[in-house]
């Protein structure tokens, strides 16, 4: 199921003269009296809105304040223009306090653009006249605005049988006002934003699809079809091929469901071989997680349709890689299974022989993600990789430790730092966490090479237990990072910024930033 897409283009026409349904401007809150003499609490117009303000004879901020505008981040106030400018509506989006001597941070712009475009649902054509710097920071700011606009316009197609009112339709076309619409750098940012946002939207669509319609075979088919259309190499291992190949972890988790497991491998090879480096992306694809025999509580279990958000992110990121064509080889691995309780389910106490040959004692069938990821990680290392980035909605411990917006990252310290930097740049924050020796010691098994969890610690250090287990399946010559997105992979609250309710697409943009980083810097 594909959500409707928003188109994007640049314009350098005076915003006051644009033939659009609404024009978006930025406003700052003011907490202290400025040199201008404006009282504390007054609104400040952000750059880009000068011609709009002139058309209102200098009364624009006063009028917006009367309507309740405060300039708070993400706040959107609409004002009928009554012919003062070409657009019938001005929408003022809050940018927070005016930064001293600098343009707003890219993430502030990204969230503002997303909030404005979402608030203007029902308008067919919207223009953004937000502040863009004219220095070295201009590309990052434009990237943020274009990505935010495209993602703020996202809405899952859904399953409603009655047509929705036209006034609620997502914005169809967004114009971004820039100094020079023909500038090659600016146009390159538009091209990138369309590819990146398109990948995020695809990831969101997969996560938001009802789990009865996206079981492992159909999920594998959807990814494979999209990948072939994008020009990627595709390999799909069904249950027979998984058994023949010795993928014990994937098979164990999937054996409780009538919908058999899959492993999808996607390959991008750059022209001329690229820079000689090889990047592996691995994503957890549990299409629904009941917990298996160690069944989860019923409350909130419906959100477990999002337990394949890691695989959705990797699959979608590979589609963007195919479009952007970085100068580095990238391979994606998407292990897929449905974790169900049945007479054929794997059990606590089972010993599973993994793809790497290691034997794992199962203590909790709800720790299933690490089982399928371990097989995929071992396969990626065997195929050859210099850098391995794995992402998964792995542990509730990530949410307890870092909340719903910040991912946890574990692995090779240097690579974890690169993930942190990439997350800061893309607005998908991640925080490096340790892999303590005492956590690993508690995973020693009396009957196998390693147990699945640290029984002695129970829920203590839960996020770290997942990372420690996965480390066992990474070969010594591969730099790796595990990105736990249990919180940020799915948004259950009200829409905010460029996030809508449901799948977020995290960490698609981080993964693409990392691919670019490796392509440029090795």
The DSSP code sequence of 420-454 is: HHHHHHHT--EEE----HHHHHTT--SSSSEESS-
Cβ proximity of 109 and 130 under 8 Å:
yes
Question: At 370, is the secondary structure helix, strand, or coil?
Answer: helix
> What pLDDT score was predicted for residue 39?
52
> What pLDDT score was predicted for residue 147?
98
**Token output for 322:** 């195919």
Angstrom distances, CA of residue 384 to CA of 151, 267, 281, 479, 517: 34, 12, 12, 12, 19
State the alpha helices, DSSP H only, in 91-215. 106-119, 138-152, 184-208
Cα 203 to its chain centre, rounded Å, is 8
Cβ proximity of 467 and 369 under 8 Å:
no
> What pLDDT score was predicted for residue 35?
46
pTM (predicted TM-score): 0.96
- pLDDT block averages, 10 residues each, the chain of length 522: 84 96 95 52 88 94 95 96 97 93 91 98 96 90 97 92 78 96 96 97 98 98 98 98 98 98 98 94 98 96 97 98 98 98 97 98 97 98 98 96 97 98 98 95 96 82 95 98 98 95 98 98 92
Task: Give yes or no: 370 in active site.
Answer: yes
Q: 3-class secondary structure for 195-256? A: HHHHHHHHHHHHHHCCHHHCCHHHHHHHHHHHHHHHCCEEEEECHHHHHHHCCHHHHHHHCC
Nearest to 200 by CA among 154, 231, 245: 154
**Active-site residue (options: 296, 358, 440, 471):** 296
DSSP bridge partners of 392: 484
Which residues, in sequence order, are CB contacts of 382 under 8 Å at separation 6+? none
Cβ proximity of 493 and 485 under 8 Å:
no
Nearest to 390 by CA among 487, 282, 287, 475: 282
> What pLDDT score was predicted for residue 330?
98
> What pLDDT score was predicted for residue 273?
86
Task: Give yes or no: 296 in active site.
Answer: yes
> What pLDDT score was predicted for residue 459?
72
Angstrom distances, CA of residue 62 to CA of 65, 74, 353, 386: 5, 19, 70, 57
> What pLDDT score was predicted for residue 286?
98
**Active-site residue (options: 155, 370, 379, 420):** 370
> What pLDDT score was predicted for residue 325?
98
């Amino acid at each position: 199921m594909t959500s409707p897409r928003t188109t994007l283009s640049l314009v350098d026409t005076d915003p006051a003269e644009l033939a659009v349904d609404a024009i978006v401007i930025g406003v700052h809150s003011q907490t202290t009296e400025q040199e201008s003499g404006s009282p504390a609490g007054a609104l400040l117009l952000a750059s880009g809105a000068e011609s709009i303000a002139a058309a209102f004879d200098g009364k624009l901020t006063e009028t917006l304040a009367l309507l309740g505008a405060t300039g708070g981040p993400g706040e959107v106030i609409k004002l009928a223009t009554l012919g003062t400018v070409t657009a019938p509506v001005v929408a003022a989006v809050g940018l927070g306090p005016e930064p001293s001597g600098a343009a707003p941070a890219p993430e502030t712009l990204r969230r503002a653009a997303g909030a404005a475009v979402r608030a203007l649902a029902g308008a067919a054509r919207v223009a953004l006249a937000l502040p863009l710097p004219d220095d070295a920071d201009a590309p990052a700011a434009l990237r943020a605005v274009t990505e935010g606009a495209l993602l703020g316009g996202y809405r899952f197609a859904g399953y409603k049988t009655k047509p929705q009112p036209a006034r609620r339709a997502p914005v169809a076309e967004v114009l971004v006002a820039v100094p020079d619409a023909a500038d090659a750098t600016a146009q390159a940012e538009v091209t990138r934003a369309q590819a990146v946002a398109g990948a995020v939207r695809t990831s969101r669509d997969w996560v938001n699809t009802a789990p009865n319609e996206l079981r492992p075979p159909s999920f594998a088919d959807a990814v494979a079809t999209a990948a072939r259309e994008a020009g990627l190499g595709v390999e799909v291992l069904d249950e027979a091929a998984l058994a023949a190949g010795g993928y014990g972890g994937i098979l164990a988790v999937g054996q409780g469901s009538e919908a058999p497991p899959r492993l999808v491998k996607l390959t991008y090879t750059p022209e001329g071989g690229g820079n000689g480096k090889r990047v592996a992306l691995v994503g957890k694809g549990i299409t629904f997680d009941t917990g298996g025999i160690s069944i989860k509580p019923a409350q909130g279990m419906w959100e477990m349709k999002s337990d394949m958000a890691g695989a959705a992110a990797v699959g979608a990121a590979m589609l963007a890689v195919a479009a952007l064509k970085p100068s580095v080889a990238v391979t994606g691995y998407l292990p897929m299974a449905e974790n169900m309780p049945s007479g054929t389910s794997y059990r606590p106490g089972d010993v599973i022989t993994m793809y790497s040959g290691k034997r794992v004692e199962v203590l909790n069938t709800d720790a299933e993600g690490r089982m399928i990821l371990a097989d995929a990680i071992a396969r990626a290392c065997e195929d050859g990789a210099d850098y391995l980035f794995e992402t998964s909605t792995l542990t509730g411990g990530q949410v307890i430790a870092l909340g719903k917006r910040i991912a946890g990252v574990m692995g090779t310290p240097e690579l974890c730092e690169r993930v942190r930097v990439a997350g800061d740049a893309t607005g998908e924050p991640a925080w490096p966490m340790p892999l303590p020796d005492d956590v690993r010691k508690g995973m020693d098994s009396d009957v196998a090479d390693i147990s699945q969890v640290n029984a002695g610690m129970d829920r203590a250090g839960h996020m770290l237990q997942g990372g420690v287990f996965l480390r066992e399946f990474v070969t010594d010559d591969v730099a790796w990072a595990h990105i736990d997105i249990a919180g940020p992979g799915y948004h259950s609250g009200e829409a905010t910024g460029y996030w809508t309710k449901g799948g977020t697409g995290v960490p698609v943009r981080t993964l693409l930033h990392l691919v670019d980083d490796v392509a440029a810097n090795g």
